Amino acid sequence: MNWSRRQALGFVSAIPAALAALPLEPGEELLPFSDYSPAFRVDAQARNPRVKVFDLRRLDGWMTPADEFFTFHQTSQPPPPDLADWRLRISGYVENPTSLTWEELRRLPVAETAVTIECSGNGGNSTLMNGLVSNGVWRGHFLSPLLRSCGVKPEAREVVFFGADTEREQKWPVNGKPFTAPHGRSLFVQDALDDKVMLATHLNGERLSQAQGFPLRLIVPGWYGMAQVKWLDRIVVLDRRYEGQHMARNYHAVRQSGESGAPLVLETSISHTRLKSVVARVTRKTVSGQPAYTISGAAWGGAHPVERVEVRVDEEAWRTAEIQTGGGAYAWNLWRLPWQEVGAGTHTIVSRAIDARGNIQPKREERSQTQLSAREDNSQWLRRIVIS
């Protein structure tokens, strides 16, 4: 069944109507930022890998339309399978190896959850403009009951998720030659058995597109996009670490400890998203003959719920925005702030998210003190706009 955008929003009963409150009102206009450049394109890269960004200037509602959802492929997109022949195979350190047909998978209990997905390489550079992030309602089947029914053995350590796409391994040849292997990512067993991890078949009420992983995609709420394996058709439980190139030699975070004395540099696998907010739009309308401005955006990520968002204009004092929550623990929050007494000229605008434990989204220079690698960029994003 294909759902309209309104119907898909309504399916998650906890989501209040206020979350759809960002569309332009009659007489309201979207003002252009001056920090966009000709380098920015929605279709940032055609292939190898395919990169498509979500234009945050189109953030007019809580749910990102499926056809605007950001895309980042690790490999070349495989052709769509024939569902009559398709199988999901679960093997390795399990008591009962399983092979499910599409019809058997569809008979499993159905679940839905709202999840924001962000690429760990997302950032505010002129090409991406923080557009490797989107929010949607995913429908499918929770993974944990299926894994448990297979009887995960006590010695199991990791669960590897393989897609139908392949990657060419260059660094570690076999018999002196590069080899081709299925693309995969792994989770520790305890993470894979988390009751929120999902095998998704639908996005926003519509069957997954090929670009979004048809027919089956892994959804790991609260993790960066590299964990959300597309075109999933094989799950293997291992008693040791999985070290495919996109696990062991890619998607690493390099951090410096805050310990006193000689600093310690730590290299770890990227996993959970970090606390972040972005300024997405500035709008203007005429009220009682005077221009009225509104700054709006989104906030998400982090280990604790987003408690508030603050906005700063031109080095003035931070002001608390109106934040609209209710989409669930793993969906972004929309926020807005009336902007008054706006003078003509160039202005800078920046937001910061603050979570329930008092953690504050860092400035770029603050982030660089502990995070040495470019990925997981959750630094405050300074925007520029010219008001005429």
The answer on 242 and 187 residing in a single domain is: yes
The answer on 210 and 325 residing in a single domain is: no
Q: 63: pLDDT confidence band, cut at 50, 70 and 90?
A: very high
- Residue 22, pLDDT score: 66
Where is the domain boundary, 255, 290, 321?
A: 255
Q: 326: pLDDT confidence band, cut at 50, 70 and 90?
A: confident
H helix intervals, 216-294 = 245-248
- Those residues with Cβ within 8 angstroms of residue 318's Cβ, 6 or more apart along the chain or in another chain: 310, 311, 312, 352
Residue 20 domain flag = no
Residue 1 domain flag = no
Mean pLDDT to the nearest integer, 151-174: 89
Q: Report residue 103: phi and psi, to 5°.
A: -65, -35
The answer on 170 and 63 residing in a single domain is: yes
Task: Please determine, for residue 163, whether its predicted confidence score (pLDDT) is greater than 90.
Answer: yes
- Residue 237, pLDDT score: 98
Range of the domain at 225: 39-255
The answer on 330 and 195 residing in a single domain is: no
Query: Between these two residues, 18 and 57, which has the higher pLDDT value?
Result: 57
- Residue 291, pLDDT score: 92
d(CA 178, CA 275): 39
Give me the DSSP letters along 45-104: BSSSS-EE---GGG--SSS--GGGS-EE-SSPPPPPPPTTT-EEEEEESBSS-EEEEHHH
- Residue 260, pLDDT score: 66
Residue 271 domain flag = no
List pLDDT tens digits, range 165-198: 988 877 667 787 778 888 999 999 999 999 999 9
- Residue 124, pLDDT score: 95
Mean pLDDT to the nearest integer, 325-341: 91
Residue 196 domain flag = yes
- Those residues with Cβ within 8 angstroms of residue 120's Cβ, 6 or more apart along the chain or in another chain: 224, 225, 226, 251, 270, 375, 376
The answer on 102 and 161 residing in a single domain is: yes
The answer on 371 and 292 residing in a single domain is: yes
The answer on 149 and 86 residing in a single domain is: yes
The answer on 286 and 215 residing in a single domain is: no
- Those residues with Cβ within 8 angstroms of residue 43's Cβ, 6 or more apart along the chain or in another chain: 51, 52
Task: Tabulate helix, strand, coil % of the chain (nearest 5).
Answer: 10, 40, 50
- Residue 6, pLDDT score: 38
The answer on 219 and 153 residing in a single domain is: yes
The answer on 178 and 75 residing in a single domain is: yes
CB 348 within 8 A of CB 383: yes
Structural domains of the chain, count: 2
Residue 25 domain flag = no
Q: Which of 177, 180, 178 is nearest to 164 (CA)?
A: 180
Query: Domain of 307: which CATH number?
Result: 2.60.40.650
Q: Which of 289, 62, 75, 41 is nearest to 166 (CA)?
A: 75
Residue 6 domain flag = no
Residue 134 domain flag = yes
Query: Domain of 135: which CATH number?
Result: 3.90.420.10
List pLDDT tens digits, range 81-102: 999 999 999 999 999 999 999 9
The answer on 184 and 321 residing in a single domain is: no
- Residue 92, pLDDT score: 98
The answer on 349 and 232 residing in a single domain is: no
Which letter does DSSP use for residue 358 in this model?
-
